[in-house]
Amino acid sequence: MSSEDKQTEEIVDTPAEEEEEAEGIKDESQNRNGLSKNQLRKLKKRERWLLVKKEKRKHERLKKKKRKAEAVEKGLDVGPSRKALKQNSMKQSKCQMKVVIDCSFDSFMSEKDVMKLVKQLQSCYSLNRRAENPLQLYICGCSGKTQERLDNIGDCSRWDVNFSPEKYSELFDKSSLIYLSSESDNVLDDLQEDKVYVIGGLVDHNHYKGLCHRLAVEASISHAQLPISQYLEMKSRKVLTVNHVFEILLQYTKTKDWSKSLFQVIPERKGVKCLTNENSRDKTEADTNMKADCDKTDKRADSESAKDEEPTQVKS
């Protein structure tokens, strides 16, 4: 079954967010006095963007409703209901693997990059809540623009996520921590439930290359990279977004197979080619069956987030 056939929960504006956008247009329209021509031009451009965004979200919701109706008519799997999703809590999960997203990089990011990071956090939450056995997800060290942006999400406070303003190093024993970084010389061979895996929540477009790895080394925290080179050949750098790293870990707890987990998640735009014959990008029946074995229900959340802006890179 292709990913288009599977219906997933999309990240859409809440009524509060839509009201906030409308108020934003109204407030900006009332504060034109004293602005330069350049500022007025930017203000008008933002007003147009907000109006287009609202219409685009409305259109996407209608498309989602139509796709779901067509899938039901064809007897296809439309994913778990909201009632079923409520049963997929971290507390009831058979998986006790802890994954932390380190959001202490607020000062290193622009407002636009913070928005991208928060979308990736939303995607991680969506992926986790739709998993049969969710990971134990922690979002730590939020402050400044990142925390403000999260607070603007209407239902963020109700997420089944362990939020903490403290740094991850203050919550967990240092000996249990493993910081995931593409610059590390160590390679993960397995995941252990007595370890805590840390993902760097930094969107920086390669401006701070190696920052997460350097901070982990300075703090004497263990570090490792995903075993990408052992299973895949990539034309681009092995730097993935926060949600892609999280999804790979989530997939591995289900499949116990790095090849399947990596191949399933890493975007095709990175020029991925499997080093094993059984996992090629050819549109063969074997490939289709292999992909069907993996949980693809949350691809929609990531793709919808990426529609409004270009793909970004994150230090993992």
Question: What confidence tens digit (pLDDT) does each residue in 80-128 have?
Answer: 666 666 667 999 999 999 999 999 999 999 999 999 999 999 999 999 9
In 3D, which of 58, 115, 68, 118 has the Cα closest to residue 297? 68
Query: Is pLDDT of 21 > 70?
Result: no
Residues 6+ apart with CB under 8 A from 134: 88, 89, 90, 93, 95, 128, 160, 250
Per residue, the 3-state secondary structure of the chain, as one string, reads CCCCCCCCCCCCCCHHHHHHHHHHHHHHHCCCCCCCHHHHHHHHHHHHHHHHHHHHHHHHHHHHHHHHHHHHHCCCCCCCCHHHHCCCCCCCCCCCCEEEEECCCHHHCCHHHHHHHHHHHHHHHHHHHCCCCCCEEEEECCCHHHHHHHHCCCCHHHCCCEEECCCHHHHCCHHHEEEECCCCCCECCCCCCCCEEEEECCECCCCCCCHHHHHHHHCCCEEEECCHHHHEECCCCCCCCHHHHHHHHHHHHHHCCHHHHHHHHCCHHHCCEECCHHHCCCCCHHHHHHHHHCCCCCHHHHHHHHHCCCCCCECC
Q: Where are the domains of the chain?
A: 15-73, 88-307
Task: Identify which has the larger pLDDT, 267 or 265.
Answer: 265
Query: Is pLDDT of 3 > 50?
Result: no
CA distance 181 to 134: 23
Query: Is pLDDT of 132 > 70?
Result: yes
175: pLDDT confidence band, cut at 50, 70 and 90?
A: very high
72: pLDDT confidence band, cut at 50, 70 and 90?
A: confident
- Give the mean pLDDT of 19-42: 64
pLDDT of the residue at 13 = 47
Query: Is pLDDT of 287 > 90?
Result: no
218: pLDDT confidence band, cut at 50, 70 and 90?
A: very high
pLDDT of the residue at 307 = 44
Query: What are 184-207's pLDDT values in tens digits?
Result: 999 999 999 999 999 999 998 778
267: pLDDT confidence band, cut at 50, 70 and 90?
A: confident
Question: What end-to-end distance do the CA atoms of the chain give, in Å?
Answer: 30
Which token pair is 229?
A: 């080179």
Most confident range, picked from 50-59, 76-85, 87-96, 301-310? 87-96
pLDDT of the residue at 83 = 61
Catalytic site includes residue 298: no
CA distance 17 to 289: 40
* Residues flagged as binding site for S-adenosyl-L-methionine: 180, 200, 212, 226
pTM greater than the 0.85 cutoff: no
In 3D, which of 214, 140, 142, 224 has the Cα closest to residue 190? 224
CA distance 282 to 271: 13
pLDDT of the residue at 292 = 45
Task: Identify which has the larger pLDDT, 139 or 40.
Answer: 139
pLDDT of the residue at 280 = 44
* Residues flagged as binding site: 180, 200, 212, 226
- Span of 18-22, 31-35, 93-97, 112-116 with lowest mean pLDDT: 18-22
Report helix angle 299-307 to 111-129, nearest 10.
Answer: 160
- Give the mean pLDDT of 48-76: 82
The owner of tokens 């477009």 is 205
The mean pLDDT value of the chain amounts to 79
Pick the catalytic residue from 204, 295, 298, 302. Answer: 204
Q: What is the fold, at CATH topology level, of the domain defined by 88-307?
A: Alpha/beta knot (3.40.1280)
In 91-116, which positions are buried (b, 16+ CB within 10 angstroms) versus exposed (e)?
eebebebbbbbbbbbbeebeeebbbb
pLDDT of the residue at 191 = 96
- Span of 29-38, 94-103, 125-134 with lowest mean pLDDT: 29-38
Query: Is pLDDT of 7 > 80?
Result: no
Query: Is pLDDT of 277 > 90?
Result: no
Query: What are 288-297's pLDDT values in tens digits?
Result: 444 444 444 4
- By percentage, how much of the chain surpasses pLDDT 70? 70
CB 176 within 8 A of CB 138: no
